[in-house]
Structure 1
Amino acid sequence: MPRSRPVAAGERWRLGREWLLVGLLTSLAVAACALTGALGRADNLIYDRLALLNPPPPAKELVIVAIDDRSLAELGRWPWGRAVHARLLDQLAQAKPKAVVYDILFLEPSADDHALAQSMRGVRTLLPLTMQAPGPNGAPFTLVRPPEPLAGAAAGLGQVNVRYDPDGMLRRVHLRDGGAGAWTDHLALKAFRLARPKAARPPDELIVPFAGPPGAFPTVSFAQVLAGEVPVEVFRDRLVLVGATGAGMGDRFPTPVGGRGGDLSGVEFQANVLSSLLQGREVRPAGPLWSLGLGLGAVWLLMTAMLTLSPRRAMVVGLALGVGVLGLSAGLLAGLRIWLMPAPALLGLLVAYPLWGWRRLAAASAFLAAEIDRLAADPAMADLPKAPPAGGDLVGRQAWLLDRAIVRMSALRRFTAEALAALPDATLVLGVGDQVEMANDAARALFDEALADKAWAEVAGRLASAEPLDGPPAALEGHQVRLADGRTLQVGLAARQAGGLILRLADVTALEAAHRQREQALQLLTHDMRSPQSSILALLDNPDAAADPQGLAHRIAGYARKTLALADGFVQLARAESGPVRAETFDFADIVAQAADDLWPQWQAKGLKLEAQGPNEALARGDASLTARAVGNLLGNAVKFSPAGGTIRCTLAKGRGGRAGQWVLRIADEGPGLDKAALAGLFQPFQRFDAGRSDGAGLGLSFVRVVAERQSGFVACDSAPGRGAIFSLGVPQA
């Protein structure tokens, strides 16, 4: 585990570096396309599809007078004399239109110019002019105006230049063209300002929102108007556009809406431009910086998703971003009439996803190859296949080999986990950094928490022991820990070949108890029981003692009783420590009363008074016989150490606070009391105090402690020299 951390850190650094490089390269591609317009054809294609989804309606103020095939058939071949146009204007003047906009160039002088000019003065008429390039004397262009008196009689003159997009389509119009000192307004702008004199000036460059294919605007034939076949209401208060639509007249332009119906005539193009201005529906192109911002935003959102999300979710995000880019462009076009070019952003998404996928695939292939080589070098993997089946791509073959290795590793890990779980002792597998890698159920139960990936210092601090397991694990070999529940654990260590340790906490409570009993038995045999036997032998060898047979017998009997008491006390203590403890319900109050009755001869012989206080019934849970003997030991000590004529007070009540859930028996005597040194070892075996007044074996209080602990109870003593002693014994309530 620790060996993999540096590798993982290097992998993350390389991953981040490649991710940043892919993002920067894609961003450069997006910037180049957005700022140079390299994807103009793609943007125009997308615009055409979106614009056709919601074309604007034609302005109701417009009507076209078309020089169509019928007019050519009735009025003769083109060009017509200007007297014919004068007759048209005279006819239109009767209908009082707002203006007549001619989309026909009058460049050469004619004998009928004065008649046409006179008719133009009867109705406001706008004429086109043209810009010829190159101009004379190195000028970039020259303006060609209609001859006088037509130019002077016109209500306005405007240029009708067209500029095609790179794909050869006509989509845009420049409402102001020319150059410094020679800027000229477009003919449609002149008509718009005549119809809307107070309207704000539109931008110089517009994208034309076409109302539909050829024939979308109301159109009447030139010949019909001259013949008086068109009611005057058709033209009243409207803008009348006059232009050629007949076959073979050449005034036609390729537009996105001219597909099936043929190219759009010049007069219909002018009608579309003027319609968008009148309705405020002109489309304003967003600058290249906006397209750049959209592209960079989409690219880096996708890069972030590919770095942080799963491949499937990253793909969904990429598709959503593509749809979102198109939706944003369509929404701005439909709602705000702003065209935000989406092609650079879409190109960025299309480049970033496969480029990053290729880099990740290459990194995955290299990683698989390195892992396969590393696993193949492990002796535990000696039986792995060396080559995959034939066929398939490189990554597929590597994945097959790695799958075989994973199956093998899973089997080994399952075997290890099962073997570890079968161990009865709490066992932890530590890595090189003293980090817990594995733990069995016994260890989790001991520390009462999840242990994986936690530091040993943190785990050891959770152990409920009398003293902490300080220091590194390697220094704890043979260390023993006593738990709060009385168990004793011993630390065992084993070094791992790959680094780290296997740490075992073996429960040696039974061994410690056996060792303690052995030591106690040795002490009993070598000292406590040997002493009275030696005294008997000394009496028998003493001639003075033999002179008094009755006194000798009495003293020998005393030593024999002491020997029997030592043996009996030791046997009872051993049984209490290692024998079974029954869990039964008994009356604690009855046991106290019975113990007092059993000791009645002793405390009666000393003239003692026994004051008892408590309930008539106190149901407890535990071993009744062991509890009775423990109560007898405590009450017997009180009788033994109380002065003649003294008082012993027994109180039985329910415990409170930390003693809640227990019956607490308190036995207070008026004996000499104990100092702090005596209290410290009071409940240890073979501890005797005030030897001049007691010939006990020193096992009674140790027996009481063992009985209390094994029944989940407690025993305590409160005493001071000259103040007597108060012993408290707790037993769980039933």
Structure 2
Amino acid sequence: MARRPGGGPRSRLMREWLVVAATASLIVAGCALTGLFARADNLVYDRLMALAPLKPDPRVVIVAIDDRSLAEIGRWPWGRDAHARLLEVLAQAGPKAVIYDVLFLEPSDQDAALAAAMAKVPTVLPVLTQAPGPDGAAFAVTPPTPALARAAAGLGQVNVRYDADGLLRRVHLRDGGPGHWIDHLALKGFRLIDPHAPSPPDALLVPFAGPPGSFPTIAFASVLRGEVPPRAFRGRIVLVGATAAGMGDRFPTPVSGHGADLSGVEFQANVVSALLQGREIRPLPAWAAALFALGALLALLVCVLRLAPRAAMAAGGVIGLLVLGVSAGLLMTLRVWLPPVPALAGLVLVYPLWGWRRLAAASAFLGAEIDRLAADPAMGPAAADPAPAADLVGRQAWLLEQAIDRMSALRRFAADALTALPDATLVLDAHDRVEMANAAARTLFAAAGPLEGRSWPDLADTLPLADLEPIPQALASDGRELRLSDGRTLQVGIALRQAAPGEAAGRILRFADVTALESAHRQREQALQLLTHDMRSPQSSILALLDNPRQAGGPEALSARIAGYARRTLALADGFVQLARAESSALRPVQFDLADLLVQAVDDLWPQWRAKGLNVETKAPESVIVLGDEALTARAIGNLLGNAVKFSPEGGRITCVLARGRGARAAYWVLKIADEGPGLSAQDKASLFEPFKRFGDGKTEGVGLGLSFVRVVAQRQGGFVDCDSAPGRGAIFAFGVRA
């Protein structure tokens, strides 16, 4: 099959993701920096502020120039003596300051009286600012008349700037330009109360205390008539301004009802109240909103790339709620306004963009995979039926479905062929993980459980090997033989799987049972050796004695020597037959007492070891029940004990200890037979269990098949046999039987 173009579907999908991320980020950042969603942000801000409105500060009271006062005092504008009388009444009550939201721009013969009244109570007056100013100036400032300006405790501007939706939410506490900055009227009044308070930011959002009428309001005429007790003004900030209908000093605000705009003096009261409580709201700059929106966008982009579609949609909802929660939390706790709409718009924008590009990537991947499958000769001919008329993705899905059906049929054929193989076979991928396994392999690796998806190094450690050394995890050579604990011999075959150019190839491991072949070959070699050397030698010796009988020294000596050669021949034949039966005959496993077999072997050899004056010590539990071939095990123990008797010196000691193994041999009962014989060299130990090997000075009887028989019996029953010996310190044979 051809290699996937463009690095595969994940590479294409990643490129699409980067394009979507860059596009959405540019759009969201641009919208946040330009204030495109300002109207929507204002709506969210208004709803959040309505949930927890700021309570009016009790130190703020309004003296209103209302309709009732106009009816009693007369048409506007009033004479400045009325304002002077009001200030004199207020001065007697002792307020902290008076903020007069009335312009006094034209000179009047009553300015002196008003200035004298202003000297009795700290009074702040507004100035008129116009932009642009005359003669090309950026702005022009018109202060009150000189007499009033000198008497005022401060002068402040009352400029207003509406938001994009035409509502008044903000106040600029400083306005003008470099060298001509003018504080706001409310800030001037606040400075009279707390001159050491930290300077608030220039631009603030006003936390309105409620709709018009939320602050305590007293009619101008009621104060002049003395209807208001002095305690209503004592220690407070008094704001004086117009609330009467038709006076033009009204502004639409988020708290305005239908047709009930907020008067200018009430707007000033809201600003002063916020400053007094330290609850003014600071809007964050546009770049902060852009970073906030980009952070939320990045979080959603990571989710859509790594999560399933349903989980990604749920994550988008959670991120949207977090965006609203962060914005609301900053507003309610830190009095900071972070616009959330650019971030929410970015979340909404990602889904159609990503869905479009992901669909394009999926369509391209489907087309490439269909072409790749069609070009594979192993797939066979495609269906002759035409694809149904549908959109591009639907047609590609239909073609891919047909290709998958053909692949499934091909895989079933391969699986059936693999199952029919008599040898255990594993199909590994490029990472040495099992893709397929037949029934023989499942039987061989039964201890490992399910095989699909398992790595070969893990499976290799579960093979029941005859020795205690683990199998090498990487089989690098073909034809390696493995001996199992049940006596079987497996030959490992390795074949590399074919792969497309540029793709890694897997392997196919085959474990062929060559036990019968190996046994037949070994028996053939042993039979040839027996016939050509071991059995021929005593027969040749008999013929030589018969040709020269006088060499034997007499008839009796001749007869004895011929009898010895005959017995040796019979022993060779018997040993060879027993070894062959141990290697090839079917085991007859039964439960038997291993400790009882040891005692029986010691009793059977009593004449031999008693004749040599040996001391045989036996240490074993009263009963050790194991499962195996009792007859073969009894003969193996007899062979080991017979060797110990044969090679022990006169009057020596033989120790037989039967105990549970330790460490790696904890699953075995281990019989150790130690003698005080001459011991074995390292060279002798290397070939100790090979057939027809004899050791010592040649004076001892034996044909060299006893230890080979013991090795075969141990291996076929899943046990072991080994020897610890050195010249001059005897030998210790360990025979292990599975518990």
User: Normalised by the size of structure 2, how large is the TM-score?
Assistant: 0.82
Q: Is the 8 A contact 1:663 1:733 kept in 2?
A: no
What amino acid sits opposite 2:513 in the alignment? D
Match of residue 583, structure 1, among 583, 587, 590: 590
List per-residue Cα deviations over 1:577-607 (Å, max 9, x = no partner): 222244342413442244225x56xx89xx6
Match of residue 333, structure 1, among 331, 334, 353: 331
Aligned partner of 1:652 in structure 2 is: 656
What is the alpha-carbon root mean square deviation over aligned residues? 4.4
Q: Is the 8 A contact 1:55 1:211 kept in 2?
A: yes
Question: 347-356 vs 502-511, which deviates more?
Answer: 347-356
Question: 20-29 vs 273-282, which deviates more?
Answer: 20-29
What amino acid sits opposite 1:662 in the alignment? V
Residue 217 of structure 1: SS of its match in structure 2? Answer: coil
Question: Following the alignment from structure 2 to structure 1, what is the Cα–Cα distance between the partners of residues 97 and 711?
Answer: 120
Question: Following the alignment from structure 1 to structure 2, what is the Cα–Cα distance between the partners of residues 200 and 630?
Answer: 102
Aligned partner of 1:213 in structure 2 is: 211
Q: Does 1:612 align with 2:621?
A: no
Residues 148 and 439 (structure 1 numbering): CA distance in 2 closer, same or farther, change over 3 Å?
Answer: same
Match of residue 504, structure 1, among 510, 513, 530: 510
Cα shift at 1:37: 3.0
Residue 201 of structure 2: SS of its match in structure 1? Answer: coil
Match of residue 735, structure 2, among 719, 730, 734: 730
Q: Is the 8 A contact 1:595 1:628 kept in 2?
A: no
Residues 649 and 200 (structure 1 numbering): CA distance in 2 closer, same or farther, change over 3 Å?
Answer: closer
- Write out aligned runs for 1:601-640 (5 A): 608-614=612-618, 619=623, 621=626, 622-630=628-636, 633=639
Question: Following the alignment from structure 1 to structure 2, what is the Cα–Cα distance between the partners of residues 733 and 472?
Answer: 28
Q: Does 1:321 align with 2:316?
A: no
Q: Is the 8 A contact 2:133 2:140 kept in 1?
A: yes
Aligned partner of 2:526 in structure 1 is: 520
Q: Is the 8 A contact 1:136 1:142 kept in 2?
A: yes
Aligned partner of 1:592 in structure 2 is: 601
Question: Following the alignment from structure 1 to structure 2, what is the Cα–Cα distance between the partners of residues 199 and 48?
Answer: 28
Residues 71 and 408 (structure 1 numbering): CA distance in 2 closer, same or farther, change over 3 Å?
Answer: farther
Question: Following the alignment from structure 1 to structure 2, what is the Cα–Cα distance between the partners of residues 207 and 676?
Answer: 97
Residues 432 and 76 (structure 1 numbering): CA distance in 2 closer, same or farther, change over 3 Å?
Answer: closer
Question: 344-353 vs 655-664, which deviates more?
Answer: 655-664
- Write out aligned runs for 1:223-238 (5 A): 223-238=221-236
Q: Is the 8 A contact 1:588 1:617 kept in 2?
A: no
- Write out aligned runs for 1:275-314 (5 A): 275-314=273-312
Residue 609 of structure 1: SS of its match in structure 2? Answer: coil
Counting aligned pairs with the same residue, the percent is: 60
Cα shift at 1:213: 0.9
Aligned partner of 1:103 in structure 2 is: 101
- Write out aligned runs for 1:384-399 (5 A): 394-395=392-393, 398-399=396-397
Q: Is the 8 A contact 1:384 1:405 kept in 2?
A: no
Cα shift at 1:230: 3.4
What amino acid sits opposite 2:670 in the alignment? Q
Question: Following the alignment from structure 1 to structure 2, what is the Cα–Cα distance between the partners of residues 536 and 180?
Answer: 136
Cα shift at 1:258: 0.9
Q: Is the 8 A contact 2:62 2:239 kept in 1?
A: yes
Match of residue 669, structure 2, among 648, 661, 671: 661
Aligned partner of 1:62 in structure 2 is: 60
User: Normalised by the size of structure 1, how large is the TM-score?
Assistant: 0.82
Q: Is the 8 A contact 2:426 2:510 kept in 1?
A: yes
Residues 259 and 637 (structure 1 numbering): CA distance in 2 closer, same or farther, change over 3 Å?
Answer: closer
Q: Does 1:129 align with 2:130?
A: no
List per-residue Cα deviations over 1:11-70 (Å, max 9, x = no partner): 444444443443333333343333333332232222222222221112222222323233
Report the number of matched residues. 717
What amino acid sits opposite 1:575 in the alignment? R
Aligned partner of 1:143 in structure 2 is: 141
Cα shift at 1:282: 1.9
Q: Is the 8 A contact 1:634 1:727 kept in 2?
A: no
List per-residue Cα deviations over 1:377-415 (Å, max 9, x = no partner): 444475669666566x65466456545655665565566
List per-residue Cα deviations over 1:88-112 (Å, max 9, x = no partner): 4454444443444332323334455
Residues 591 and 77 (structure 1 numbering): CA distance in 2 closer, same or farther, change over 3 Å?
Answer: same
Q: Does 1:491 align with 2:489?
A: no
Residues 385 and 46 (structure 1 numbering): CA distance in 2 closer, same or farther, change over 3 Å?
Answer: farther
Cα shift at 1:265: 1.3
Cα shift at 1:153: 4.1
Cα shift at 1:130: 0.8
Unaligned segments of structure 2, at least 5 residues: 500-504
List per-residue Cα deviations over 1:645-684 (Å, max 9, x = no partner): x4464433235866873333445568xx876655544433
What amino acid sits opposite 1:480 in the alignment? E
Residue 661 of structure 1: SS of its match in structure 2? Answer: strand
What amino acid sits opposite 1:365 in the alignment? S
Aligned partner of 2:172 in structure 1 is: 174
Unaligned segments of structure 1, at least 5 residues: none
Residues 140 and 485 (structure 1 numbering): CA distance in 2 closer, same or farther, change over 3 Å?
Answer: same
Cα shift at 1:196: 2.9
Residues 228 and 206 (structure 1 numbering): CA distance in 2 closer, same or farther, change over 3 Å?
Answer: same
Residue 583 of structure 1: SS of its match in structure 2? Answer: strand
Cα shift at 1:350: 3.0
Aligned partner of 1:199 in structure 2 is: 197
Residues 81 and 481 (structure 1 numbering): CA distance in 2 closer, same or farther, change over 3 Å?
Answer: same
Q: Does 1:476 align with 2:477?
A: yes
Cα shift at 1:87: 4.4
Question: Following the alignment from structure 1 to structure 2, what is the Cα–Cα distance between the partners of residues 125 and 678?
Answer: 121
